[in-house]
Amino acid sequence: MAKFILAEKREMTQKFADDGTVIPVTKVVAGPCVITQIKDSEKDGYIAVQIGFGSKRKLSKPLQGHLKKTGNFQYLREFRLNKEEVKDLKVGDKLEASTFQAGDMVKVSGSSKGKGFQGVVKRHGFHGSPASHGHKDQLRMPGSIGAGGPQHVFRGVRMGGRMGGEMVSVKNLEVIEVDSKKNEIFIKGAVPGAKSNLILISGAGDLIISIPEEKEDNKKTSDQIEEVKTNLEENKSEVKTEASNEVKVEAKPDSPEGENKK
């Protein structure tokens, strides 16, 4: 079974292993996320789970209707699963960082930093033209872009253009530490994207569904009610025993000394 979560990238820092080795890590704040939709092959054509992350004050009316049972979320993303992995999930289930553990190998996907319009040297790694005589203003030029016969540029020729801002995935990153109280995950190495960027974390393992706080509060209140009931029953039994003892004392016969006096 696969486990997954949405997270927000924070800063890079370092952790120390037991032997003193310095490990560069990226801190991310993962979740809490809520399952907003479960798609099936009959209705949607594929099986997937949609989860929401972050909060947003205003939503469009279509999104308000879609999220009326779960809440207002800033991000909605899908993860493909199979029938067996979806059968135990339902809308409203909560996912937290505790579903991951130290030592897990995960895949992290995110949008890379946008660098604007760049030339071929920075975008594709061209070495450029020689910087000798006869190459005026040609140092970072792309050079020839095609044959003269067809009279057009072939598709896929490496040229200058927009760089960055694309979905990048990095596999086999190790989870070094998980702080379930702060919902923080420390991942070894670098993670795609800039600070405060949305990233998708997925890996192999069992998906842990956390119990909502309302249910926990209800359990606590029910336990407290049961304790009060048991205490009341014990107090009632003690009162009954004391009353029975008092009745026995009053019902004692007169002493023989009293009879002789009469």
Residue 75 CB partners (closer than 8 Å, separation 6+)? 6, 52, 53, 54, 198
Q: Where are the beta strands (DSSP E) in 31-90?
A: 33-39, 48-53, 75-80
* Residue among 76, 75, 163, 170 at smallest CA distance from 115: 163
Per-residue pLDDT of the chain (262 residues; tens, 9 = 90+): 689 999 999 999 999 998 999 999 999 999 899 999 999 888 889 999 999 999 888 889 999 899 988 888 999 999 998 888 888 888 888 999 999 999 999 999 999 999 999 999 999 999 999 988 888 888 999 988 888 888 889 999 999 999 999 999 999 999 999 998 999 999 999 999 999 999 999 999 888 887 655 544 555 565 667 777 777 777 766 655 555 555 444 445 555 554 454 4
Same domain, 109 and 134: no
Task: State the residue range of the domain holding 222.
Answer: 216-252
Structure tokens at 204: 């192999």
Looking at the fold, whether 36 and 152 belong to one and the same domain comes out as no
CATH number of 134's domain: 4.10.960.10
| 70 shares its domain with 186 | yes
pLDDT at 157: 93
Q: Report if residue 107 sits inside a domain.
A: yes
Instruction: Specify if 101 maps to a domain.
Output: yes
Instruction: State residue 239's pLDDT score.
Output: 57
Q: Domain total for the chain?
A: 3
Is residue 225 within a helix (H) or strand (E), and if so which, with residue range?
A: helix 213-250
Q: Say yes or no: 52 and 107 in one domain.
A: yes
